[in-house]
Structure 1
Amino acid sequence: MKGVHNFLVTVAAILALAASIASAYDPSLLFRTSASQQTKPKTAFCKNPKLVTPEDFFSSGFNIPGNTNNQLGFSANVLNVDRIPGLNTQGLSVIRLDFAPFGQVPPHTHPRASEIIVVDQGTLYIGFVTSDEDGNRLFAKILRPGDVYVFPFGLIHFQFNPNPTPAVAFTALSSQYGGFITIADALFGSNPAINPVVLAKAFQLDTKTVKQLQQKFA
């Protein structure tokens, strides 16, 4: 029972913190690009109020560990408006992150959201990098159970489990569709592929290495 109580307290705290962010600012909430269409609204349809039920504000299973048996060693259980219709227009989504030993969420950005994270189990090494005009400064820290950290809007950030034991964290985004752009996948795994010469010059690599990376991420 103590574990369930701690879990509920953790989720309640992160929802409260994220809600305060969402109420203040939620830019670009309704838009994302589509490969087959022009930029279009990305929001759920409003339900007839007479048909709304408590189930529209409910989800379960957030206490169940995710499958981390993959190359990066992490899983993300995302609760957004697709799973909880009552989140529509609330500017909020929540994610459970499970990490295998030495697993990581690679450097990425959320183009439509800031993020707040709280560690529930284990230890995480996390950080974000500022923009060029701020000197590309790294703000990194080791987090342990109960520790909370904020990733500012749109900045590249990461989470890494440095230990040989699993870790669990919960995060909240200030958007119902925060988006997720993994830097390496986007650049080396684009379709069609970016000209290797461009990436070789950008990363100060030879084109052979770039082509190998493109094959790997493709």
Structure 2
Amino acid sequence: MRSTIAVGVACVAGAFMLSACGGAQISGTITPITSGNTATSSPPPTTSAQASGGGTDAGTGGGQTGNNGAQPAASNNPSNCKSSELKLSFGHDSDHAMQKTYTSLQFTNISQHSCTLQGFPGVSYVTGDSGQQVGLPANRSGNQGPTITLRPGGSTNAGLVIVNAGPFPADQCKPVDVRGLRVYPPNETAAMFLPTSGQGCAGSVGPLLTVSSVGTSITS
């Protein structure tokens, strides 16, 4: 199945990479929440996030063309969007293909001024009350692109692919129930949290998440 994620918005908390495995249909363990669950700042389940250090997943620059949902800036020199200026949610488009879920992360400017986003969000699974990271940060898909300018109320998306942990051998995956995603907006060191249910792999299995630059999608 070929699925294209709508890109109007710009990936789910500290970052993951896509790991392919074949044959199994996706189970109900991954449940992207498309409405009613959003985050505007780091929630209680997450720890204080750092931009560097082993296992962290702060967002960095890069992206492709596209500014769906973004509007021309009112300011001549808007600054980079901060986590406190953004609302984070899953995009409205979500599709299941084999053992993968294709969805997106949507960033909406909730401030009173224009701001910019460019590059890849940092995304990773987290669990527990302290927001412990599960597995590797999300892999990145695509190339660097232009800056997306968001006027107040404007939004942009980053494509997100979630691989089901179920088909992996349990002794390799070491499955862990997760509470959601830790997401760093591009070029930000303050994390946001997006609740979702599912399982991550704490073992030697590669990243189960893949994220694209803001303003882009990922196709199967």
TM-score range, shorter chain: 0.3 to 0.5
Instruction: Name the TM-score, length of structure 2 as normaliser.
Output: 0.32
Higher RCO structure, 1 or 2 (CA under 8 Å, sep 6+): 2
Instruction: Name the TM-score, length of structure 1 as normaliser.
Output: 0.32
Q: Which protein has the bigger strand share?
A: 2
Look at both structures and tell me which one has the larger radius of gyration over its CA atoms. 1
